[in-house]
Amino acid sequence: MTIAIVVHGGAKTVSPDKEQPNKEGCLAAVQAGWQILEQGGDARAAVEAAIRVLESDQTFNAGFGSTLNSEGEVEVDAAMMESKTLRWGAVAAVQGLRHPISAARKVMEEKPRLLVARSGERFAREHGLELCPKEDLVSQEQRQEWEEEAEVIDRPNTVGCVALDVNGILVAGTSTGGTTGQPQGRVGDTALVGSGLYADHRGACSTTGDGESIIPVVLAKTAVDFLSGDAASMDGVLAVHPEQAAEKAIEVLKQRVSGEAGCILLDQNGRIGWAYNSQDMAVAYMHDELQQPAVFISKEDEAPVNM
């Protein structure tokens, strides 16, 4: 059985001085997830491990290093979904949680639902997840940008991961700190099934970008639907390569709404696709036909995909 994993560090503009940190962070994340998959571990654990790496790296807008809201605080969202049972779990607008993706997984495994703000924080405490003073998630760079109201050139969007394990289970996960200066309590696409992520028997998708643009076109579900060749089809026949499906989904967004977005897509055969309409998008992936993980800042760096 094929195994594969893809991570993204956000659809954005990557300034030259941030190229290496973005590559190193995505590479470390994909390696963490791949180690689990190649040892026979499940896709839930692989996705969680990969995203935890990104949540610990202040290069990315998730966990430590998240953007600050209107009150100068970090509020995080995360979600996870798996293909076999369509189980999902999410938390949103939560403070003082080091690894929101771990909370999303725990919610998914206990009872599919979305827990917001104090409800999510209470759930994390009751299940022994890693909590911290909310100030500990604020990086110096983000505090300075917020205080100076500086124009942010390189500010990652949502991070995410999709994985296929040896048992043929697909899992998608997303995690974010939201948008700079967002109103307190604002929730974007990340925690919403169908928009920020989706996984079923055909494929798994994680998105990134402007949540208010991603939500109305249910970007993640749209990308997975395109794998069947017809956005309305559920017959499971994969007529379209994930690369084409991802591109079609982004084209739908471009035609219907304004805003930047990107997505990573993995089908049941372990084929990989990704697309975006921002200037750059940090992506890394690994599958059992590669000798080592591949990592990119833009599509221009990747060899053409054989459809």
Residue among 70, 85, 44, 7 nearest 296 (CA):
7
**Residue (of 152, 158, 161, 224) closest to 189 by Cα position:** 158
201 sits in which H/E element: none
Q: Is residue 307 part of a domain?
A: no
**At residue 31, what is the residue type?**
Q
Backbone phi and psi for residue 179, each to the nearest 5 degrees, phi listed first: -120, 150
Instruction: Tell me the whole-structure pTM to 2 decimals.
Output: 0.92
| Mean per-residue pLDDT, 116-125 | 96
For residue 270, pLDDT beyond 50: yes
**Structure-token pair, residue 217:** 């076109």
From 47, 291, 276, select the one nearest 170 (Cα to Cα). 47
- CB-side neighbour CA atoms (13 Å) of 75: 26
- Given a cut of 60, whether residue 305 has pLDDT beyond it is no
Least confident of 9-23, 134-148, 165-179, 292-306: 134-148
111's tokens:
């009872």
3-state secondary structure of 48: helix
Mean pLDDT of 3-28: 93
Domain assignment present for residue 258? The answer is: yes
Give the pLDDT confidence of 133-158 residue by residue, as tens digits: 877 777 666 666 655 555 555 555 79
For residue 102, tell me if it sits in a domain: yes
Residue 231 has pLDDT above 70, yes or no: no
Average pLDDT over residues 227-233: 67
Q: How many domains does the chain have?
A: 1
Structure tokens that stand for 127 in this block: 């299940």
Instruction: Give dist(CA 303, CA 18) in Å, integer.
Output: 23
Phi, psi of 6 (to 5 degrees): -135, 140
Instruction: Please check the confidence at residue 3 and state whether its pLDDT lies above 70.
Output: yes
Kindly list the catalytic residues: 158
Question: Which tens digits make up the pLDDT trace of 196-208?
Answer: 999 999 999 999 9
Q: What is the pLDDT of residues 30-51, one digit of tens each?
A: 999 999 999 999 999 999 999 9
pLDDT, tens digit (0-9, with 9 covering 90-100), for 154-188: 555 799 999 999 999 999 999 999 888 889 999 99
Give φ, ψ of 197 to 5 degrees. -165, 160
Q: Is residue 71 part of a domain?
A: yes
Among 10-14, 52-56, 234-238, 296-300, the least confident range: 234-238
Examine residue 65 and state whether it is found in any structural domain, yes or no.
yes
Tens digits of residue pLDDT in 50-101: 999 999 999 999 988 888 888 888 999 999 999 999 999 999 999 999 999 9
Say if 27 falls within a structural domain.
yes
- Tokens for 175, please give them: 């995690």
- In this structure, what CATH number is given to the domain that contains residue 262? 3.60.20.30
**Is pLDDT above 60 for 230?**
no
Tokens representing 252 are 């739908």
Residue at 114 is within a domain: yes
Confidence of residue 105 (pLDDT cuts 50, 70, 90): very high
Q: At what angle do helices 219-226 and 242-256 cross, to 10 degrees?
A: 140
- The DSSP result for 17-69, as a single string, is GGHHHHHHHHHHHHHHHHHHHHTT--HHHHHHHHHHHHHT-TTSSSSTTPPP-
Domain that residue 118 falls in: 4-301
Q: What gap in Å lies between CA 236 and CA 246, rounded to an integer?
A: 17
Whether 306 maps to a domain, the answer reads no
